[in-house]
Amino acid sequence: MLHQIKKFRILLVLPAAVLFLGTTGFMLLEKLSFLDALYFTIVTVSTVGYGDIYPITTAGKLFAMLLIFTGIGTFLTIVTRLTQLIVHRGRDRLRKQRLNMLIGVFFTEVGTQLLRHFVEYDPNISSIRQELGINENWSEVEFTALKRQLRRYKYSIDPKLMELEKVSKFLKEKGDLLLRQIENPDLIEYEALSELLWAVVHLRDEFMSRRSLSDLPEPDLAHLANDATRAYGHLVKEWLEYLQHMKRRYPYLYSLAIRTNPFSENPSAIIK
């Protein structure tokens, strides 16, 4: 989309170039003043042809014909590009709406609950829990500051705290939804969400690949904790983006999301 806008801005230089060349050419070939040459260039390019000024010399006539073809071609190109830009913007808006719906479904069905599990297994959560107490009055500045702070946070999952059976059962139940979302073509252009989904699906596959989750050796527990930590970091980042989007566009959904904030110690959808 940005590439299309950049190309259109470059095209806007063409009319100025046509006017400059036309004015300069008529001044040299027809010995017209600057104002008359500019006026004649505009009349020629627009194919109005009032007839009050016309080329006298052979070179001037040939130049006028060339200018007509050049001018018409230039303006037709600009109109075509502008139409394409409008169409692309409409498609881009629809694609973003579909993508945001996809993200909303993910967090409603999987993300928020999974994040709540990970928060319980994070031994360092008390150091950032207060900062994640997002409320209805948060501004864009506060969201930006929190994102900056979380880039320095070391996400970790303690293998000893992980409730393997609970997480495994939850991910198994959500397997079909996760696979359907991964197959969605809109994800191709959203790398961050794609990476998040693959991290969660990989964690699910790790759980499903083990016949039993009891009495796992410590190296294997550490491996599972590492996979969970990877998904945890992606989840927090996309959860904040999701919250910020709802704050801008859907205040009622934002209200529910902050009441059920997975970082709150006692989250509740009930308004008190």
In order of their start, the domains of the chain are: 2-89 (1.10.287.70), 94-259 (no CATH)
Cβ(21)–Cβ(28) under 8 Å?
Answer: no
Specify the long-range contacts of residues 119-122, CB closer than 8 Å, at least 24 apart: 119/262, 119/263, 120/161, 120/163, 121/157, 121/158, 121/161, 121/162, 121/163, 121/225, 121/228, 122/155, 122/156, 122/157, 122/158, 122/232
Tens of pLDDT, residue by residue, the chain (272 residues) = 445 556 656 667 777 888 888 889 889 988 889 998 888 888 888 777 767 777 888 888 888 888 888 877 777 777 777 777 777 776 777 777 777 788 888 999 999 999 999 999 999 999 999 999 898 899 999 999 999 999 999 999 999 999 999 999 999 999 998 988 888 877 766 788 889 999 999 999 999 999 999 889 999 999 999 999 999 999 999 999 999 988 988 888 899 999 999 998 888 888 87
Angle in degrees, 0-180, between the axes of helices 112-120 and 218-249, rounded to the nearest 10: 130
Q: What is the pLDDT of residue 8?
A: 59
Sequence length of the chain is: 272
Question: H or E segment at 105?
Answer: helix 58-106
Q: What is the pLDDT of residue 6?
A: 61
Q: What is the pLDDT of residue 3?
A: 55
Cβ burial, residue 268 (10 Å; 0-12/13-18/19+): exposed
Q: What is the pLDDT of residue 172?
A: 94
Q: What is the pLDDT of residue 44?
A: 82
Q: What is the pLDDT of residue 243?
A: 92
d(CA 267, CA 272): 12
